[in-house]
Amino acid sequence: MSCLKTSIIVLILTALMGVTPLLAQSAFSYFENAAAGTVYPARLKAEVGYLCDSLCGGRASGTPGGVLASRWVQRQFEKSKLAPLADSSYYLLCPSQDSTCLIHSVAGILYPKQRREAGYVVICAHSDALGSLGGRLFPGADSNASGTVAVTSLARMFTSRKTLGTSPSCPLIFVVFDGKEKGSAGARNFASLLKEEALTDAESGKPIREKDIRMLVNIDQVGATLSPVHADRKDYLIMLGNERLKGDAQAARDLVHHPECKLDLCFDYYGSKSFTEVFYHLADRSAFKDSPFPLLYFTSGITFSNNKPSDNAESLDYEVFCRRIRFVFHWLCRFV
């Protein structure tokens, strides 16, 4: 098929899918750009707005609002045609560490058309927040409706890329953990399931083993621009763990020079080596501290709005948020 015919087909497909193709000269394929175009600021704002609405009640674990948020994630995974990771269910249920509630993590897997590489890549975030305390709603927009929406957006992008003709080289596992505010119960349960080889690859029939994980990408607070690394750049992103990658660790540095991914990318936590190491292992990431696979962590940092009612949907910068998600997508495309 000629390049012209391929271009016309892609443009027709993107129009039918409601996608706005990224324009200008690009280092990325038509398929990759079209898939990236399924995520845009208005859509992100609507999705974060839903998770921060009073209906979800701040998404505390074990509350009706927390379960509602988990069901929303499940619906997004179904729309993205992910297969359930655990038998016939998208849910990875477990008790909280204090045994006060049931944790509803949600997990799906995108299988490639043909496996060109062994192993799995895990992309994850947590969805729960503080809920309502003393009659006040804590919406948890940046922490961590932003990470939740980033994971569901990445699932949509990779499914679109596969549909348009470029399949991932290995299965991609998408997980949204519940229970971060309950001792990272959801993340610890997932880590235990990997160690115990309790999850099964439905296509191969073999267990998904901890040693089969190529890397785990954790996304936590990526919507705000309130704590820039450099005062003149609100379009920043902090990426921790890049040095732990084997192979092409330079990919992230190269990507920020492209217009679609232009960001002030930083590889430590505000210049502090010691705090970088501490922050790298906080919260859900602590569940994977001793795991053999590389752990990559994306964040826009802690802000003065964290764990406050002011962390609402209106406080996020959706233009920058969108660019950050597209960066993570294009970066992952270099590996899968």
Query: Distance between the two ends of the chain, CA-based, in angstroms?
Result: 25
- For the stretch 106-143, what's the b/e string if a residue is b when 16 or more beta carbons lie within 10 angstroms of its beta carbon? bbbbbbbeeeeeebbbbbbbbbbbbbbeeeebbbbbbb
| Amino acid 87: pLDDT | 79
- The residue assigned the tokens 């006060």 is 100
| Amino acid 17: pLDDT | 44
For 26, half-sphere exposure in the C-beta direction (CA atoms, 13 angstrom radius) is: 15
Domain count, the chain: 1
CA separation for the pair 187, 125 (Å, rounded) = 9
| Interval 261-284: pLDDT, tens | 889 999 999 988 888 888 888 889
Asked if residue 176 lies in contact with residue 54, where contact means CB atoms within 8 angstroms, the answer is no
3-state class (DSSP) for residue 78: helix
| Mean pLDDT, all residues of the chain | 90
Domain ranges, residue 323:
3-333
| Interval 137-165: pLDDT, tens | 999 999 999 999 999 999 999 999 999 99
Q: What is the pTM of this model?
A: 0.91
> Sign of the CA dihedral 252, 253, 256, 257?
negative
| Percent of residues, the chain, with pLDDT higher than 90 | 77
Under the banding of pLDDT at 50, 70 and 90, the label for residue 19 is: very low
Torsion (CA) 261, 266, 269, 271 in degrees, nearest 10: -160
Query: Which phi and psi angles does 21 have, rounded to 5°?
Result: -65, 145
| Amino acid 249: pLDDT | 57
Question: DSSP code of 317?
Answer: -
| Amino acid 248: pLDDT | 60
Question: For the domain that residue 127 is a member of, what is the CATH number?
Answer: 3.40.630.10
Q: Which residues contact 252 (CB under 8 A, 6 or more apart)?
A: 239, 242, 265, 331
Render 24-71 in DSSP notation, one character per residue.
SS-SS-HHHHHHHTT--HHHHHHHHHHHHSGGGTT--TTSHHHHHHHH
Residue 294: name the closest of 150, 119, 176, 127 by CA: 119
| Interval 199-230: pLDDT, tens | 999 999 999 999 999 999 999 999 999 999 99
* Mean pLDDT value of segment 45-53: 98
CA separation for the pair 80, 10 (Å, rounded) = 19
H helix or E strand, kind and range, residue 126: strand 120-126
CA separation for the pair 180, 127 (Å, rounded) = 8
| Amino acid 93: pLDDT | 95
